[in-house]
Structure 1
Amino acid sequence: MESGATATEAATHAVVQVVGGGTPQATGSFGFWFADQRWQWSDEVAVMHGYEPGTVTPTTELLLSHKHPDDRAQVAETIAKSLRNAEPFCSRHRIIDTTGQMRHVIVLGDTMTDDDGKVVGTTGYYVDLTETFDEQRQETLANALPELFEARAVIEQAKGVLMRVYRLNAEQAFRVLQWRSQETNIKLRTLATRLIAELDSLPPAPPQVQTAFDHLLLTMHEQAGPE
């Protein structure tokens, strides 16, 4: 940005970096085939665990070995349930990489089907929630541009839903929304509006509501909806 830019232009630039733009979140994809319990990690997921891309073949045993000891049993049961019920593997937990660093991650999955429509596995994303946003950009988003207040209202609603469903704090929930905005190239406000509009379509009680919400979060960009 040129040195002669106004304060308003500077604020607008900072907001653009936060809302639907800026540096991509620390995310990576995975696939898990039920029949042979075969895993596939993207390079980003390998790096989250501390490995150079292409140097490790993920397995359930390796995956569980990186879970925080207090989270390992929960994740193991989630994977076992995924195999028993042929349903997506989704979880929020902590991992320990090869250097001993702890990372907070959320894993969002959807069903993987073959040509006949049979569920054969789950595929989705790891989202690293460890790092925090730059405080100055958060302050800009909250206070600098009054015209964003209406957009913020629906974004706050969507954040509240994510906080409740996935047990996230406010910043982590915003990271998930920002990730989906960047991944789908849809404005954050539009994505939040669609999410809120589709909530009534979810089943009324767990565990179906968890799986249905995961599917909604990963696919709502494909549906026509409110702007």
Structure 2
Amino acid sequence: MAIQCAVSVDGANLVASLAGGLRLTDRPALQEQLLKCLADQPEALLVDLSAMWVDQPPALSSFTVVLRQAAQWPGTPVLFCAPRPRTRELLSTADGRLPLYPTVEAALAHLDGEPRTVPSISEDLLPVTGSTRHARDVTTEACARWELPGLVAPASLIVTELVANVIDHAHTMMTLRLSLRQRYLNIAVRDGSPHPPVSAAGLRPEIASGRGLLLIDELAYRWGHLPSNGGKVVWAALRRT
């Protein structure tokens, strides 16, 4: 893409610094880069706009897409920092809901005043059959620790299908992560294959691979997938109630 995106680490946060003129042709690549940042599940994603200007205002819809995805999963705050006056005006006109801050430091100060520690459990798994049982054990332990007995069964089924999908199709190492948000139990499996899962809506049950994504579609409040550096993340959210 013509616009440049440099990603750096600031503690548990990621900072994506954009530079150059934003055009419509930049939109797909920019969205993918920012979605990859979300796939890393940082505590917050700060988008530094100080070196960016807008050549074609409709391209700003990329930020709305990223903000909407962050709200669905993983629940990561996305803060837009230091826009130039004209960029700030365009962003305010395009979508007044975008959280804008005058500087990166101001955004960090805002985050310091918010409780953001998210309870989570991560486990690296091999692409072997025994990993499905181990993943279920990890999930049961997490639900017990967080006092969510009603989610043990659906969470275990979802984890089994996500891990089995990696074993059957991706054939790579994977990382299972469960995190507890205010309203949701989030489940994510990251693997080393860039190929997205096949949507359950596009398959007849009799030709789907096992219950697979059809089952996840029935059990999860929301589910989806994001590109990540070196692969993808498939995620699902279960309501805590």
TM-score, normalisation: structure 1: 0.27
Higher strand share: 2
TM-score, normalisation: structure 2: 0.26
Larger RCO, structures 1/2 (Cα 8 Å, 6+ apart):
1
Higher helix share: 1
